[in-house]
Amino acid sequence: MDVVRIGLLGLGNVGSGVWKILNDNSAEIAEKAGARLEIARVLVRDPDKERRVSVPRGLLTTDAESIVNDPSIPIIVETIGCPGQDTELARDYMLCALSAGKHVITANKEVLARHGRELRGAVKSGGGLYYEGAVAGGIPVVKVFKEALAGNKVLSLMGIINGTTNYILTQMSQEGADFQQVLSMAQSLGYAEQDPSSDVDGHDAAYKLALLASIAFGHDVQVEDVFHEGISQIQLEDLRYAAELGYTVKLLAIARRGGPSGGSTADGSNTADGGISGNAGSVNSAGSVRSAGASRGGDANSVELRVHPTMIPRSHPLASVSGAFNAVFIRGDAVGDLMLYGMGAGMMPTGSAVVADCIDAAHNLLRGVSPPREVRSNHVHVKSVHGIESRYYVRVLVVDRPGVMAAIASEFGRAQVSIESLIQKGRGQDPVSVVFVTHSAREQSMRDALRQIESLDVVHSIASVIRVEAE
């Protein structure tokens, strides 16, 4: 049987999973691949470090070039990248390997989201770029979009694609613990990094959404295109109100095709800077949005891309996704609605996805072919966050006296935001919480309303603003 040699860059969590699966399941994998897959060399920082898996000392090296430039190693698996760390190094290694005509496999969503176009452009005949493990861990979502749904026009996707935030929100809802308490618990269990900002601020989900939207819509989406907010301002009181209203709160990644573009901001710029803050309804920086050559008006190439805490009905399939699990809910014009569900991260689930890519790469290598090229257009208009439409949950802290509701309702009306429902509890307190759920409204209209409401002398503060998805 033929032997296909693999160079493994990194032996951390994912790299260890790849090593273990390839060795534990070697016979089954060889049968599926048509060749024995053998890890020939492993890049590590410290060869003497104690690790989760036992790797022969002679396979370890600190010299990446000795792996990347070795002509006897046609498949390179990159697993060195961590959020905010080693991204440029990982990019350089992958570019070098791709330029040499090798097959490169990675689970590094940040590098792909930031440098995907460059990496795809470096693929040579006979080589390929594979990244099933970069989104949703062991869930085969990339292959579903590329292959199983190739005959569909994907209309939208909504996903829980960050396990850390889903675990935190699940625990807050079920255990009644506040954000900081649950975050500390998640860190102690290894679900959250010591610096959790990439997860809890929405960056990780934004990287993944950029990748998924690029594949699903056939447009080259950059991470800067994705408006994002995190979960750190979500309060227990809001989770209780959500339950009372028949909703649950998730950090959702949302991508939709078509519709009016939303055009420009109030000052005429085309930007996604700023979102409704979780605690004040104010403007926060969240990165710019490109027009990519499209017109200001709505067209078939218009898309919206956003990551933020979202209330969804308890009847929605995503509402039941708990703990560190991920799920992606997809709507296609032919297939209708479908959902993919499973572990979104971890040593073995992500390692499983990487190994599946290794088998695909071995197939293509033995046949002397490259994987199908990803055809993407740059002609896409990403809607400004100011132009998107959503329903909204708003919790306002007010003085408990007559006329307060009328004053707030009046400002909503002036901004053309209509109220669907209202909850007031704790009469006689100061301040008292009043909760509004609106009908669908433009983001800019909502901001205008909140700005005026916050200036009312009967309003202490706008405590929370959370977008609501009705379907």
The pLDDT tens digits for 17-27 are 999 999 999 99
Whole-number pLDDT of residue 122: 94
Whole-number pLDDT of residue 340: 97
Tokens of 171: 């625990």
pTM metric for this prediction: 0.88
Numbers of helices and strands, H then E, in the chain: 14, 18
Dihedral of the CA atoms 432, 437, 438, 443 (nearest 10)?
80
Q: Is the pLDDT of residue 15 over 50?
A: yes
Could you tell me the pLDDT band of residue 74, with boundaries at 50, 70 and 90?
very high
Ranges 112-121, 268-277, 443-452, most confident: 443-452
Place of tokens 């009046």: 410
What is residue 317's three-state secondary structure? helix
Whole-number pLDDT of residue 85: 57
Could you tell me the pLDDT band of residue 190, with boundaries at 50, 70 and 90?
confident
Percent pLDDT > 70 in the chain is 89
- The mean pLDDT value for 255-277 works out to 47
- Four-residue CA torsion sign, 470, 251, 219, 444: positive
Q: What is the pLDDT of residues 315-348, one digit of tens each?
A: 999 999 999 999 999 999 999 999 999 998 889 9
- The mean pLDDT value for 408-427 works out to 91
Q: What is the pLDDT of residues 196-230, one digit of tens each?
A: 999 999 999 999 999 999 999 988 888 998 999 99
Q: Is the pLDDT of residue 274 over 90?
A: no
- The mean pLDDT value for 347-370 works out to 94
Burial of 71 (0-12, 13-18, 19+ CB in 10 A): exposed
Q: Is the pLDDT of residue 266 over 70?
A: no
Rounded to 5 degrees, what are φ and ψ at 114? -90, -30
Whole-number pLDDT of residue 424: 86
Q: What per-residue string of b and e applies to 442-452 under the rule 16 or more CB within 10 Å gives b?
A: bbbbbbbbbeb
What is the overall mean pLDDT for the chain? 88
Q: Which of 186, 192, 74, 69 is nearest to 128 (CA)?
A: 74
DSSP annotation string for 350-365: HHHHHHHHHHHHHHHH
- The mean pLDDT value for 419-431 works out to 83
Could you tell me the pLDDT band of residue 301, with boundaries at 50, 70 and 90?
low
Whole-number pLDDT of residue 276: 56
Place of tokens 């959250």: 192
Whole-number pLDDT of residue 288: 32
Catalytic residues: 208
Domains of the chain (ranges, CATH numbers): 3-138+347-367 (3.40.50.720), 145-343 (3.30.360.10), 388-468 (3.30.70.260)
Place of tokens 């499973």: 342
Structure letter (DSSP) for residue 185:
H
Structure letter (DSSP) for residue 392:
E
Beta 128-130 vs 441-442: how paired, if at all?
unpaired
Provide the CB-side half-sphere exposure for 96 (13 A, CA): 17
Q: In whole angstroms, give the CA distance from residue 469 to residue 71.
A: 52
Q: Is the pLDDT of residue 263 over 50?
A: no
DSSP annotation string for 373-389: P---BS--EEPPGGG-E
Whole-number pLDDT of residue 300: 58
| 44/282: higher pLDDT | 44
